[in-house]
Amino acid sequence: GIQVEQSPPDLILQEGANSTLRCNFSDSVNNLQWFHQNPWGQLINLFYIPSGTKQNGRLSATTVATERYSLLYISSSQTTDSGVYFCAVGEGGGADGLTFGKGTHLIIQP
């Protein structure tokens, strides 16, 4: 099956810093989503982005499908951005589940 690798595995930043999280995948995909799991365990969908670039406030994401990677940018970090960021991909046009990476554990210190 498809492999998903996220980097870095852990990241500690001061409030106000910017960060870039990376997701590499081993095969062509037609579904890619980024999620944030907060310290209480809730999973929040950040982006559905199988290709191209999207922005939502301080967050943006870019997927270069031909080169099999996606990037999540977080600007002006806040303590509420802490948690685990997961990249998840799918190959089957929706008729299958997503394969999740192991996540990037982000800690934003005040």
Partner 1 sequence: NAGVMQNPRHLVRRRGQEARLRCSPMKGHSHVYWYRQLPEEGLKFMVYLQKENIIDESGMPKERFSAEFPKEGPSILRIQQVVRGDSAAYFCASSNQPGEGYTFGSGTRLTVV
Interaction site with partner 1 (CB under 8 A)? 30-31, 33, 35, 41-45, 48, 86, 88, 90, 92-103
* Closest by CA position to 46, among listed 23, 68, 16: 23
User: What is the smallest separation between the CB atom of 72 and partner 1, expressed in angstroms?
Assistant: 15
| Nearest to partner 1 of 42, 80 (CB atom) | 42
User: What is the smallest separation between the CB atom of 79 and partner 1, expressed in angstroms?
Assistant: 21
Please give the helix or strand (H or E) that residue 69 lies within, else none: strand 69-74
Give dist(CA 11, CA 79) in Å, integer.
13
Give dist(CA 11, CA 3) in Å, integer.
22
User: What is the smallest separation between the CB atom of 15 and partner 1, expressed in angstroms?
Assistant: 26
